[in-house]
Structure 1
Amino acid sequence: MTDPYSPQFDDRDRLWGLPDPDTQPGFYAGVPLKRLVAWLVDFVMVAILTAIVVPFTAFTALFFLPVLYFTLDFIYRWSTIANGSSTWGMRLMGIELRTRAGQKLDSGLALVHTLGFILTSATMIPQLLSAGMMLTLPRGQGLTDVVLGTTAINRA
């Protein structure tokens, strides 16, 4: 066991149960692009779901379409992340979300992660900041990931 008071001690040893991006880069290889493609797949899936729901509201949902879309997106993301630590788009791309301890996200953390994602996506500046962070941070974490200590990795 590493002595936390040793000068050789690295905070990553204590704070992360995730693969180290320097020693195990394969877990993070191509993840930002995969996250983008997964986001596009998820966007299309939720848009189709929204289009299916609209007629069942006698088309009154057209008056509050963004609210309906974000509500369905929230439910979709929360339920899929809580039941597999990834959305269907992420599964298609072979990536999944993990906690700082290296565990899959539970329902509570999936809820908070989804809320952070929706809030970040709703405004331009946090969304651009998050995308920039995914491209520059060693673990490819977005804004919500950094706050919660989560990250997306390639499935083993």
Structure 2
Amino acid sequence: MTYSDALWGLPDPDTHQDFYADIPLKRFGAWVIDLLVIFAICVLILPFTAFIGLFFFWALWLGVGLIYRIWCMSARSATLGMRLMSIEFRNARGERFDSGTACLHTLLYTLMMSTLILQAISVIAILVTSRRQGLHDLLLGTAAVNRSALLR
């Protein structure tokens, strides 16, 4: 499957397994990297709040996380962690995210992460669905794919 074929929709997981190979592990690795990046940004911001940010660190974390994810997903359809793990997201048409899709995807992801039961369902969905989609991906019709498979 060439990149131009992928523009007509998400690759079929039965005929193009290379697009979804190791996605759960790569998504987890990207998630850990992104947590570290968000934490580092929050720590860098703290002195500019005269360390008052320590009292509302959860809000600082949430705000930085939202801005970081929306900005990265709008620009490259992947966060820094995802780029390091060689994955990126595609919409139902097989295209990179636009700003609206990146914003909606990030908001749904944040909602899933804020509720333990939704988070558990999302992780299970990533492990069992053929395209390795989380609950928020299923709702939007998006999927994470291996970037290297797109280049073939």
Same fold (TM > 0.5)? yes
3-state secondary structure, aligned to 2:76: coil
Matches within 5 A, 1:10-29: 17-29=9-21
Task: After TM superposition, give the deviation of residue 63 of structure 1 in Å.
Answer: 1.0
Partner of 1:5: none
2:24 to 26, 32, 35: 32
Across the two proteins, how many residue pairs are aligned to each other?
141
1:135 to 121, 127, 130: 127
Whether 1:69 aligns to 2:57 is: no
Q: Tell me how far apart the structure 2 counterparts of residues 37 and 123 of structure 1 sit (CA, whole Å).
A: 21
Structure 1 residues 24-62: Cα deviation after superposition (integer angstroms, max 9, x where no partner): 000000011000000000000000100111111011111
Partner of 1:86: 78
Whichever residue aligns with residue 94 of structure 2, its letter is G
Greater RCO, 1 or 2 (C-alpha within 8 Å, sep 6+): 2
Task: After TM superposition, give the deviation of residue 123 of structure 1 in Å.
Answer: 1.6
Structure 1 segments (4+ residues) deviating >2 Å: none
Q: Tell me how far apart the structure 1 counterparts of residues 28 and 131 of structure 2 sit (CA, whole Å).
A: 15
Whether 1:103 aligns to 2:95 is: yes
Task: After TM superposition, give the deviation of residue 104 of structure 1 in Å.
Answer: 0.5
How high is the TM-score relative to the length of structure 1?
Answer: 0.89
Partner of 1:10: none
Structure 1 residues 52-78: Cα deviation after superposition (integer angstroms, max 9, x where no partner): 111110111111110100100000000
Whichever residue aligns with residue 38 of structure 1, its letter is A
RMSD of aligned C-alpha atoms?
Answer: 0.8
How high is the TM-score relative to the length of structure 2?
Answer: 0.91
2:139 to 136, 147, 151: 147
